[in-house]
Structure 1
Amino acid sequence: MPATRLGVSGSATSNFYHGRMNDKPTPKPLVRGRGLVTNPAGRFEQRHYHAEDDGWPGDGESPQPEQVATRVTIETPRSAISRNDSPDVPFDQAINPYRGCEHGCAYCYARPSHAYLDLSPGLDFETRLTAKTGLAEVLRKELARSGYRPSPINMGSNTDPYQPIERQWGLSREILQLLVECRHPCTIVTKNAMVERDLDLLRQLAAFDGVRVFISVNTLDNRLAARLEPRASAPHRRIQAIRKLARAGIPVGVLVSPIIPAVNDRDIEAIIEKAAEAGADSAGYSTIRLPHELKGLFREWLARHYPQRASHVMSLIQQLHAGRDYDSDFRHRMQGQGLFAQLIRRRFEVAMRQHGLLDRAALVLNTSAFLPPRKRSPQGDLFQT
């Protein structure tokens, strides 16, 4: 194989720091345990590298390693709560203890957020992570402000609070401990059975109607799940987590998300049936979203795993979004529009009625039990009643 050299364009931070080259002439081999294998430049980077044949014989570039280690950096956050006013999002406050997500879901709409860190939405998103240490103390100060008005806080809006590095860092548990102390309601979205670890805290929140957990399950096919979500819990373990939470008295629902036409949409009814049998009391869904760099990344995933079906899948996705890969209109971005979107909605509603599940969007948590956190005192609670 001819040797290669790098052609460079642009003048900003080098992509070489991230160890990636763009525009490869041949696909890279799979990286064990990872959803994607390439690291295309983020949309804010101005310097790009590409491979060129210089005509000299040689061994060529070194092969892609079979495994890529996860690297975690520490961030000291200045704020804890992020707020939104999007009419299609069922909460207005969220906390994300981590940046990036080790689950490596190929379809994750949060991948493009890594571009703000001058990192790639590709392999970097699932291997170069950030832990926000001290987040619970920052949250304590925000909840103690005189003007704070309680509203359910969501954990899992951007990256999964129970991704594998939570075992080491425990930041999500720290947040839950504070919410229990303050009797502050929250919702949790996860695709990891590790949520079972915090049953003791979830029971305390459930005692005043202060928590709802949503387990994301978008396929019952283990092989497909291993390709789509390589480091998330297997589908059957997520169903088991629903059962364990329900038996412990924790309100739990299932999210069939995202639904990808001609990839996993065949499982909609079966997922709802399994979740209802396990004790889920509510359900919700969304269709696949492909903002920014995710358009190309998901096409790459399809070409690798479903080459004969790739163009058909993208055609159906475009039908959901008015002929485009992605439509950011709040009215349509979550569930799409058009005939195929109507078919999905109808199937989902029928399955929910058949199994007696509530609509996730209609659920309300109790905010009246909130107690602002006390300021830290060197004498502790000696004179507190």
Structure 2
Amino acid sequence: MASPIPDPRETARRIAGSRTPAETRRGRGATANPDGRFERAHREAFDDGWDAHQDAHNMLATSRTVVGIETARTLITYNTSPDIGFDRSINPYRGCEHGCIYCFARPNHAYVGLSPGLDFETRLFAKSNAVAALKHDLARPGYAPRTIALGTATDPYQPIEREHRLTRGVLEVLARWRHPVGIVTKSSLVLRDRDILARMAADGLVKVAISLTTLDPTLARRLEPRAPHPQKRLAAIRGLAEAGVPVMAIVAPIIPSLNDHEIEAILKAAREAGAREANYVLLRLPRELDGLVSDWFSEHYPGRRDHVFSLLTQARGGKSYDAAWGTRMIGEGPYADLIRRRFALAKKRLGYPEERLRQRTDLFRRPEKPGDQLALF
């Protein structure tokens, strides 16, 4: 069934109507919790003067992190997008506690009947059978190895990974069967797995991409409230590089008139920490994300909102978002061209290599299944 395309004005109205008090969502990114686009009924909060204390208590309760268990039939997800560098990915978790307001995966929460707003960062799901499902996927007859992207939608090293350790389990499987992987994260928790990553790196099987949105801790706390401090991410780059693990810095997202002035500084800090590659993504606002980000600006930077969206629409063909392949990540037009040139010049000046590191696929060994005949040698 095709997903309905929300009207921007209606979306903005619904989000404003679902805004929750700031004191009940401390440490969260979204300002509101609008109903998912597939829901038949839409609710709006209003103060009727009754049970104000109980309402506040209920809001605090719903802002706590709740982790549900999800059983995955298969762990590897495939795509045919021509403008990204991988055709398969793994996400051990659904939803992300980091709470990045700009996360393009937020609208996916509507597929499970939850909100792309606060629900996305408080109502999480852990794929408890991730290790078994991955072994099954890799053992399929005819499976051909190519680099798996780990953490493309939600961060594989978000805070709940400390308890559930699903990402650690996935890496143990990939390392055992010598399967290539590329990791995307903004968490310094990745350093916990240096033992596995260093072994894989020695065989050319891994690359880690660390997301750096800003070096300003105040802005980072507003944009990404439960993600590690920018200095901890730089420390993660340094720690991985010292362990021989190749690291890419991703300046993402670049938000017009908010963090675009930091491009050169971020690239310099990442290079000095040991990053050998760098890339960027211009802010993407699919579906409900348009209204969520707009409402976030209304609360945190109301004077900048119109200017930010004006620059963004200039780079998106007159819309806040254009999903066209080839331009959806970087935009087009004068503003997008300026960002592209600045990024390229900074990389060249800082000595980033032009050639991107590729992972090996020729070392892969298929997991044995029950009943398989053992090899003689």
Normalised TM-score (structure 1): 0.89
Give 2:279's match in structure 1, choosing from 276, 284, 287.
284
Give 1:122's match in structure 2, choosing from 117, 122, 126.
117
Provide Cα deviations, 1:212-268, integer angstroms capped at 9, x if missing partner: 001000100000000000111110100011001001100111000110000111110
Q: Deviation at 1:51?
A: 4.3
Provide Cα deviations, 1:23-78, integer angstroms capped at 9, x if missing partner: 53976225111101311011111111224677xx6565833439821100101100
Q: Where in structure 2 are the equivalents of 1:81-96 lying within 5 Å?
A: 81-96=76-91
CA distance in 2, matches of 1:234, 1:50: 34
Q: Where in structure 2 are the equivalents of 1:124-139 lying within 5 Å?
A: 124-139=119-134
1:271 matched residue in structure 2:
266
2:216 matched residue in structure 1:
221
Aligned CA distance change for structure 1 residues 124 and 132 (closer, same or farther; 3 Å): same
Aligned CA distance change for structure 1 residues 283 and 23 (closer, same or farther; 3 Å): closer
Aligned CA distance change for structure 1 residues 77 and 194 (closer, same or farther; 3 Å): same
CA distance in 2, matches of 1:292, 1:384: 55
Q: Which runs of 5+ in 2 are unaligned?
A: 1-13
1:164 matched residue in structure 2:
159
Give 1:35's match in structure 2, choosing from 23, 29, 37.
29
User: Percent of aligned pairs with the same residue?
Assistant: 50
Amino acid at match of 2:101: A
Q: Which runs of 5+ in 1 are unaligned?
A: 1-20
SS in structure 2 of the partner of residue 358 of structure 1: coil
SS in structure 1 of the partner of residue 124 of structure 2: strand
Aligned CA distance change for structure 1 residues 359 and 255 (closer, same or farther; 3 Å): farther
- 1:253 and 2:248 correspond: yes
1:181 matched residue in structure 2:
176
Q: Deviation at 1:208?
A: 1.1
CA distance in 2, matches of 1:27, 1:160: 25
CA distance in 1, matches of 2:233, 2:184: 12
SS in structure 1 of the partner of residue 22 of structure 2: coil
CA distance in 2, matches of 1:25, 1:149: 47
CA distance in 2, matches of 1:190, 1:179: 18
CA distance in 2, matches of 1:76, 1:26: 32
CA distance in 1, matches of 2:223, 2:296: 9
Amino acid at match of 1:374: E
SS in structure 1 of the partner of residue 149 of structure 2: strand
SS in structure 2 of the partner of residue 334 of structure 1: coil
The alignment of Structure 1 onto Structure 2 pairs a total of residues equal to 360
Amino acid at match of 2:250: L
Given that 1:98 and 1:130 are in contact with CA atoms closer than 8 Å, whether structure 2 keeps it comes out as yes
Aligned CA distance change for structure 1 residues 129 and 51 (closer, same or farther; 3 Å): closer
1:112 matched residue in structure 2:
107
2:306 matched residue in structure 1:
311
Provide Cα deviations, 1:293-337, integer angstroms capped at 9, x if missing partner: 001000010000001111111111111101101001012110001
| Structure of greater Rg | 1
- 1:344 and 2:339 correspond: yes
Normalised TM-score (structure 2): 0.91
CA distance in 2, matches of 1:227, 1:270: 20
Amino acid at match of 1:214: A
- 1:335 and 2:326 correspond: no
Given that 2:284 and 2:328 are in contact with CA atoms closer than 8 Å, whether structure 1 keeps it comes out as yes
Provide Cα deviations, 1:167-221, integer angstroms capped at 9, x if missing partner: 0000000000000100000000000000000001001111110000010001000
- 1:24 and 2:34 correspond: no
Aligned CA distance change for structure 1 residues 328 and 178 (closer, same or farther; 3 Å): same
Q: Deviation at 1:363?
A: 3.0
Amino acid at match of 1:302: F
Aligned CA distance change for structure 1 residues 353 and 116 (closer, same or farther; 3 Å): same
Which structure features the higher share of strand residues?
1
2:357 matched residue in structure 1:
363
Q: Deviation at 1:358?
A: 3.3
Which structure features the higher share of helix residues?
2
CA distance in 2, matches of 1:124, 1:302: 19
Given that 1:111 and 1:125 are in contact with CA atoms closer than 8 Å, whether structure 2 keeps it comes out as yes
SS in structure 1 of the partner of residue 60 of structure 2: coil
Given that 1:182 and 1:373 are in contact with CA atoms closer than 8 Å, whether structure 2 keeps it comes out as yes
2:10 matched residue in structure 1:
none
- 1:324 and 2:324 correspond: no
Given that 1:22 and 1:49 are in contact with CA atoms closer than 8 Å, whether structure 2 keeps it comes out as no
CA distance in 2, matches of 1:175, 1:125: 23
Give 1:48's match in structure 2, choosing from 42, 46, 57.
42
Amino acid at match of 2:363: A
CA distance in 2, matches of 1:22, 1:218: 25
